[in-house]
Structure 1
Amino acid sequence: MGVQGLTTFVEGNRNFLQDLRFRDSRLVIDGSSLYYRLYFNHGLDRQHGGDYDAFACLLTRFLSALAACKIQPYVVLDGGIDPSDKKFPTLRSRLQSKIREADNLSRGRNGSVLPILTRHVFIHVLTQRGVPLVQCSAEADWEIACLARQWNCPVLTNDSDFYVFDLPGGYLPLQYFQWTNLNGKACQRYISSRFYTTNNLCRWFGGLDRELLHLCAVINGNDYGAPMEAETLLDLIDVGASGRGGGRGKGRASSSRIEGLLIWLSSFSSVAEALKEVSRLMCEGGGNKKGQKDELSSQLWAAMQEYNIKARSSLVHWFSGGKVAQRGNTCGLTQLPDCLSFAAAQGQLAPAVVDAWVMQRVLLMPQVENNRLASSHLSSKAIRQAIYGILLQGQDGTVHGRDGGARLAAESGRGSGGRGRGGRGQVHTSAWSKGQAASVQAQGTPICVEEYDRLDLSLKKNLVEAQPPRTPVLLSELSQAPVALRLGVLFEVLAVKESALEPVPPHQRVGVAVTGFWLREVTPTPPQPLVQALVLSMVYGEVSFNNQPGNSHQHAVPRMNWAAERQVLSALGGKR
């Protein structure tokens, strides 16, 4: 989420932010904001697939700085797409923007496209360091705010919505969090930062009711959009404010739309009074038909509830005992097998997998590549089809659509445009039941997942058929399936015979199989130097691991080869 223009407005007024020496406290961290900020603000490579080693070192330094100041971090990550579909138009627009930014980067220009494995490396380092983390079922903002309110501790993020949430422990904007320059004596280290609460802003506007701040954010527009009539209301507000005699804002110049809106709202004593005025304005000046004058007020009130954080946080249960307790009954994780639900909460199950399960929709992240060629995601299509098949198949082994899946199947059969055509903010619903989905499957129509991927420089929706592997494996029994069975399924999807991998050491077989799959599927065929570089990196990783003390398979390497391996390691290390 994010409120348009609010960050610029708050940071432009020195009365809203206070200096803080931060130490010896809990800290709730917006994980997505943190890894974006760390990667983009420290000169790491964006053009050549990701500088993950440098990123891991940077993150480790950040965590060490927190530890030196006795700050206990709790990291909360965004999950999949909001099942309500309220934010989908915004996500689709951002994806289109990232396609163009990736193209700019490929041509040596500027752009901010996160390398595709950054999130994975982020979670890996946090797990290694024992940092508590959780991946939410959908967007994490509301969960973060509820947790911080219950714990009375600050939030570290870069999201302007946290200028709206009423957090007693405050909000620490990432751009002011000076973790690279610790201060204080050794036993009392602290991080200099700037600190925000809604108190200062509301006081500046004459004791503004905090709920009116929520209304300001909704009228102005956030990532969930704004009601269609909100722009009409904004055009009328100046007239309405003059008609009321200006209220407390009389005589003050409005330096921005945010400030003008806050000045207008400060003339009301409550949200109810403000919404009543909204109805009057829309009725008199907005051309509303009789009986519709309260529609905008109702929409605004409903949207304001996204900023209501008085509920007890479900994440407290997770951080106190590892129990999955997700918000709402429609998050989808509650319907996953326990092992996968737990893996998703740990961040070990990618949000795209949850999206395929809950929404039957997946957004494929753009990468820096030659945009005159086909999307690089096409090379892994068969793997995704197998994943969709495993996720969506029933106990009888046939593929069943979930919610909208059967409708997608029917639409794919008759060439319809699919979901997302009902306008902004529409909640996706389907009249199809699982039984009807099975009926569609029985009639030979495939069950599909919506994929959004690049076609040249445009975002295109594709309906991709779910194809479970021939080897029987049920989602509900996946965690109990023998390792040999799971490997068999994996090698089947990668189209490689296990017998062909027998000469390869067991711990390298998956890597070799994936490399073979890539060489077969990728277009155009990779040049020989690229393949040689990949093999060389695998060799370097192996000999480097073999020569580390205490590794798990050093005993399997004959002693006569150790000296030779050390020479290879030294030579390769010198060429890095």
Structure 2
Amino acid sequence: MGIHGLMTYVGENHQFFNDLKLKNTKIIIDGNNLYHRLYFDSGLDLQHGGDYDSFTDVVHKFFESLAVCNIQPYVVLDGGCDFTDKKLETLKQRGRDRIQAAHSISRGGGGSVLPLLSREVFKQILNKSQVPFVQCFSEADRDIVTLANQWCCPVLTLDSDFCIFDLKAGYCPLNYFQWRNICTSKETSDCYIPARCFSIDKFCSHFSNMNKSLLPLFAVLNGNDYINLPALETFFSRVRFPIGVHSLSGRKHIRIQGLLNWLANFTDPKEAIENVVKYLPKHDRENIKELLHSSMEEYQQSDVSLEDFFQNGSLVSQIGMELGIFPEWALVALAKGQLAPFISDAVVLKRTILHVQVENMQRSSCHMSSLPIRQVIYGLLLSTNQEPSLSQSPTKASNKIFNITEFDRFHKTLKVSSVQAAVLTEFSCQDLSCIVEVSSSERLRLLLETLQVKDDVIESVPAELKLPIAVTCHWLNHSDPGVKLQHLQALLLGVVYGELCSLMCNSGSEESHTDDIRMAYNQLFKLKTRKQQKGALDIDLAHIFCQWQCCLQMGFYLNQLLRTPLTEPDLTRLYSGTLVHQIYRELKLVTSAEDLLSGSLKACQLYQDLLGAVGSSIPPDFFQKKSKSRPCKKKKQVRLAESSDRSQLEAQPGCDVSNRFEALLGEDLNQTHTCAKNKY
């Protein structure tokens, strides 16, 4: 939620705040707000699909700052869209705004579009850092307020709605929370974070000691995410607000202050509402009164007890139970963040929203590449949650076709389309509740069949990379424009870099182990941090890698829905957009992949294993066909090595000539390269 213009208004009036030295306390954190702000305010990449490794470092530093000050965080995440659909128009407008922002970023302009996998990365960081968190069934605001008042601790967010809620310990806006500036108390030597805390008491006293209960009416009249009635403009055009100070920045702030001064004249909401509707036509008054009352209820505390969840893990959404379409295991998984809100939206609303990335707006949406995966997800969710009629046998009922509504980008507009769910006749589970009873082998079979990958393809791949590699095979067959060898090489080298990062962090005292990977890590890190020409984005290249992220996102969701028959991959260091784009440019200069790994046997072997696994899933001439379909001048076509090349391959350290895909490792085997050697 959000109240138009309120956050900037209160920010210009410092008298509404108390200065705090935050330490030794619990704090309730609006998770959605936090991960957006940490990404956008840290100068992280927005053009190349996101740098999740850098984002991970920022999030770690944030929670380390809290720990130093003995601040105990409890993170609360939004769930699916409101099941009453009151916010649909707002969501559609935000979708349109994101499309325009993505287009602007793609052309080197301004804008804020969060990389696609940021939420899942954030949840993985919370799990690894053992930061307690919960994912609500829908909007989290009211649940946050209830918990904060139960524990009498502040709320950390940047949502103007929290200026309206009556919070016992106040609301700390993120932009005044100086977590990067830890201070030490002279008296106690305790560390603390300087912060400002919004005080609803100071706010109301500024407006002639206004009754706090009038603030929800103010929020509704001024306009929030749930209500924006044209009829209320009649009220604003006719009412005369008390004359106040007009040294404010813009008409919106003048209107906010005038409305608050006007409301302060009334003792309670009932009296104020009567004075609002008297300015409206008589035939509209009762309907508007009813709508105002119902909208104000959004600012009441909820009946959900997050305290029970954080103390003993026992939370099952009352709304979810009342809807009767989720088995208990799914409700628990949603609360623990083990299923995405995308899943609950598909089941409850029969509608999903696909988020735009920085992609080529002249081409089809990147989400088209993952359509077959989504159709299977919808098939699992919809067909297994429909009761067959008495005249139907279970078999006939399961063969019924269901559709779901998707919101996606079409060029630079928001498009609504109907997508047909897959009919899963060979999957033994005919009810969502029985997925827990289906064997792991059958669930794995459905996952791999969806991705069109045979199980022997990923057999030699490390467990945590099996899903990304299977998804990569799917991406090769569904990307438009088609994937070239250098795209695949760049992506896999990026994956190897993520593994190198993990090894460097976890190597401990094994110096020899670290020495083997240090140079390869340094070489790729140097490439990642190389200064790029601003605005010089290869938009078709970005489009191809955005499609991979779409496939990974939906493959990740399907794996979760199937109770993880494949190990859940570590997304925190799996993809670094700036690095992958830089590697692609290097490979186009006829640099070989092995040169970028600086002779590290471990890194080379992992890269070859991944490349060989993907190569075994496609025809030997796959990339030759791609090259022939789009001939390029001044470029050698990628070719399989002839027998005469084997001696040259054998001369390269760490290469396995028995790998039928090995010959694709470089375009020019006769060219020698010098590897950069950096000190760690």
TM-score normalized by structure 2?
0.71
Cα gap change, 1:505 to 1:272, in 2 (>3 Å)? closer
Q: State the partner residue of 2:484.
A: 527
CA distance in 2, matches of 1:130, 1:385: 34
Q: Are the counterparts in 2 of residues 209 and 269 from structure 1 also a CA contact under 8 Å?
A: yes
Q: State the partner residue of 1:190.
A: 192
Cα gap change, 1:569 to 1:510, in 2 (>3 Å)? farther
Deviations 1:245-295 (A, max 9, x none): xxxx4676695111111111111112121122223222xxxx333xx4332
1:456 to 411, 423, 426: 411
CA distance in 2, matches of 1:224, 1:330: 24
Cα gap change, 1:508 to 1:301, in 2 (>3 Å)? closer
Q: State the partner residue of 2:422.
A: 467
Cα gap change, 1:444 to 1:269, in 2 (>3 Å)? same
Q: Are the counterparts in 1 of residues 350 and 404 from structure 2 also a CA contact under 8 Å?
A: yes
Q: State the partner residue of 2:28.
A: 28
CA distance in 1, matches of 2:65, 2:434: 43
How do residues 430-441 of structure 1 correspond to structure 2 at under 5 angstroms? none
Pairing 1:264–2:251 present? no
CA distance in 2, matches of 1:437, 1:252: 71
Cα gap change, 1:330 to 1:91, in 2 (>3 Å)? farther
CA distance in 2, matches of 1:229, 1:437: 49
Pairing 1:274–2:266 present? no
Paired letter, 1:455: F
Q: State the partner residue of 1:300.
A: 292
Pairing 1:87–2:87 present? yes
* 1:502 CA displacement: 4.3
Paired letter, 1:150: Q
Pairing 1:357–2:357 present? no
For the residue of structure 2 that corresponds to 1:393, the secondary structure is: helix
Paired letter, 1:486: R
1:315 to 306, 315, 325: 306
* 1:7 CA displacement: 1.2
For the residue of structure 2 that corresponds to 1:493, the secondary structure is: helix
1:391 to 381, 399, 410: 381
CA distance in 2, matches of 1:193, 1:507: 40
CA RMSD of aligned residues (A): 2.9
For the residue of structure 2 that corresponds to 1:293, the secondary structure is: helix
* 1:323 CA displacement: 1.0
Q: Are the counterparts in 1 of residues 243 and 258 from structure 2 also a CA contact under 8 Å?
A: no
Pairing 1:571–2:520 present? yes
CA distance in 2, matches of 1:437, 1:371: 45
Q: Are the counterparts in 2 of residues 83 and 331 from structure 1 also a CA contact under 8 Å?
A: no
Q: Are the counterparts in 1 of residues 142 and 299 from structure 2 also a CA contact under 8 Å?
A: yes
CA distance in 2, matches of 1:476, 1:8: 47
Q: State the partner residue of 2:148.
A: 148
Deviations 1:497-545 (A, max 9, x none): 2244445555544333211111001111123221111222344455666
Paired letter, 2:443: R
Paired letter, 1:446: I
Paired letter, 1:484: S
Paired letter, 2:86: K
Stretch of structure 1 that moved more, 263-272 or 493-502: 493-502
Paired letter, 1:138: S
Paired letter, 1:197: S
CA distance in 2, matches of 1:269, 1:317: 37
How do residues 483-562 of structure 1 correspond to structure 2 at under 5 angstroms? 483-502=440-459, 504=461, 508-541=465-498
Deviations 1:290-315 (A, max 9, x none): xx433222211111111122x55421
* 1:104 CA displacement: 0.9
**Aligned length in residues:** 515
Q: State the partner residue of 2:386.
A: 400
For the residue of structure 2 that corresponds to 1:281, the secondary structure is: coil
Q: Are the counterparts in 1 of residues 44 and 51 from structure 2 also a CA contact under 8 Å?
A: yes
Q: Are the counterparts in 1 of residues 235 and 277 from structure 2 also a CA contact under 8 Å?
A: no
Q: Are the counterparts in 1 of residues 316 and 328 from structure 2 also a CA contact under 8 Å?
A: no
Stretch of structure 1 that moved more, 294-303 or 191-200: 294-303
TM-score normalized by structure 1?
0.83
Q: Unaligned 5+ residue runs, structure 1?
A: 242-248, 402-432, 555-561
* 1:236 CA displacement: 1.8
Q: State the partner residue of 1:417.
A: none
Q: State the partner residue of 1:346.
A: 336
Q: State the partner residue of 1:12.
A: 12
Deviations 1:189-227 (A, max 9, x none): 111111112101111111111111111111111011233
Q: Are the counterparts in 2 of residues 315 and 325 from structure 1 also a CA contact under 8 Å?
A: no
Q: Are the counterparts in 2 of residues 137 and 331 from structure 1 also a CA contact under 8 Å?
A: no
Stretch of structure 1 that moved more, 169-178 or 320-329: 320-329
Q: State the partner residue of 2:547.
A: none
Cα gap change, 1:18 to 1:449, in 2 (>3 Å)? same
CA distance in 2, matches of 1:477, 1:389: 15
Deviations 1:527-574 (A, max 9, x none): 3221111222344455666787689xx9xxxxxxx9799646633542
Paired letter, 1:61: K
CA distance in 1, matches of 2:363, 2:83: 33
How do residues 3-152 of structure 1 correspond to structure 2 at under 5 angstroms? 3-152=3-152
Q: State the partner residue of 2:356.
A: 366
Cα gap change, 1:537 to 1:281, in 2 (>3 Å)? closer
For the residue of structure 1 that corresponds to 2:404, the secondary structure is: strand
Q: Are the counterparts in 1 of residues 221 and 232 from structure 2 also a CA contact under 8 Å?
A: yes
Stretch of structure 1 that moved more, 215-224 or 269-278: 269-278
Pairing 1:288–2:282 present? yes
CA distance in 2, matches of 1:314, 1:436: 42
For the residue of structure 2 that corresponds to 1:42, the secondary structure is: coil
Identity of aligned residues (%): 39
Q: Unaligned 5+ residue runs, structure 2?
A: 249-253, 526-680
